[in-house]
A and B are shown apart, each in its own frame.
Chain A
């Protein structure tokens, strides 16, 4: 069995950079039980070939956890049965902010884990300062201290060597004296218990064990008692730490936070700072909306070419159909998201590493709190205007679980770029083109109204959800604004790589499955039914003397009508008739669950226009479509009803998949699907009847 080492430290201590350097790309992302925070595992391969498993725990300030992220660390360290319980710990402390990093360190030491202390950021500190703390902590805390730097890779090989010897000799490891003495009255309540490493671990279990499993320890502290003890303990530790730091009077000439102060005068200036953020957001939106479209078009045309090529070389049959029409469009539908995800995460993680995101939270906290949202939600909401997939993934940076869930829930309501083809196909039936006030295009104004409608609905939903999504987390802003640091490109790229990979292998799987299922529905029917359709079409085309191409288009159209998808479309007709839809639209609703823009293709097929996506042709054909009573089918109210349906309904399997993956539960995408469906139904009904 390989050894398992935990990487522990405060947020912004440089922990993740060191994790990335130590493990390279030998990382895997898992999930903590029941919670949607990634657990990051990596492997260190030692010179002798042995392997150490490294866990990058979420950054925490204290084992007395106040947030979900912090609790993940606490639960893993107090429960020897936990799947992430480490054999030893590397504690990362930023030497530039050493006083603040010592609180958690003293707690970790009191748990009697074998510990190596790494002083990070040492290339920004004077040698005298580094020497002082290395020596002082080594003597005071009796554990190895190594000054490191993730920028210059200082001493990281030494760290690996020390780790090896620490693990080898961990069994003869002698317990040190606790930094904090548990009050006598509480100590008496901690009877000998072999389940725990020491008294402090048992003590912490009494604080938090009930949050892990209630059966194991019935006599945990009441909440108020627990908080009182927790405050007492923390203040006591601070007093000891203040003694340690009191005499240190070493000026660090290599580092000052003057740049941060100057930058913040501009970036957090109430009006100017907010305006700068708006400009940055515009830039991000532009990047994912239009720059990403070049690689996306390339990917789509590449897959289309592959599809074409394969259909010429492969023998016809269900297997080649599965590959050409089932799997390839599915793969294309997954891979096409990569440019947007990569670009968005490149920009976000760059800003996060820089320290800017904390400022965004500060600037917009008050405004967004009213909607149950958070400063970090802004990025997700605005990127949602290009595509919900990267936008939902971006919410992972929101550390309040409730805010994050609400943000993810409302993002798909923000009008994304996939709605545009549907709107374009239909808007002409609702608003005829004309100039308003001589300069505005009436259809452009209609587009703008549709966009605003989506945004307003998202905000209303968020405001309502506040009352339904309960949280045991206190809504607190109190947040540290770290000093700005120039991001290291390698760290940013690792984040991007990580996001793309998780999307491909986790959400991608679900998207591919749904895509194949939809292909199955629209390409198969009961045995022999398609043969009958073929005969009918042959007779009909002979009668009407249709060309081969026209006959083929007619066959495709009839095939869809008689497929399982067609049967479902007809079956749901009574449900959608009140919205002004018929079974043909019913089929399009079903198939465009793959993605909204599929609507255009499906309608073209059903109207036997062949499989091209020519919007003008489709528009003309739709104009001619009549109801049984002879009236125009796509009149203003039906078209508006359909537009509104696409505005609100979750017609996107990728959103479903990503939501599933990001919340780690089926429940949320299902609730979201139903909620948005009801919203869409009501809006369409109103549009059709008023």
Chain B
């Protein structure tokens, strides 16, 4: 806490960097996963392949991804963001596919029979019905990304992880703890906030 009151600027900068890293990574991951999921959901073989791919991606430890990207992309912000995007991809992809596949089939049949076009069906019925599950995927991805962004420090990506590594290197327990606790709180906060939004959304769609 002493460290925090002595270096509020450094701390806020680290938080800012951390959030920027996380949000950019998450945004790119979602921007890839969502269209991909929509694209493959109606093609059973591709959908299966996508889910397997997501499973593989999910099993690879974040640190390994970072290390693997190091020789390819060097150090800094960009490779960190790419690694985080790869981390965000699987949960959103899987939940998009499952959400769309699980959308009320009778409602979709009715939508088609009443004369909705493919796009109208997708945007007015299918995606809204899949939304709670997609959002759940987003929540999982966000929490993972916020936690994993702490590792970006190892390839010079910045963020709160910097405080932890610096604290360890300088034997500055205060700095290390501030970093560690902030990361944990950020992850918990993300989970709590998105979890709340998710329940709200589910209630709106399904009418709980």
Q: Do these two chains interact? A: no
B interface residues (Cβ-Cβ under 8 A, vs A): none
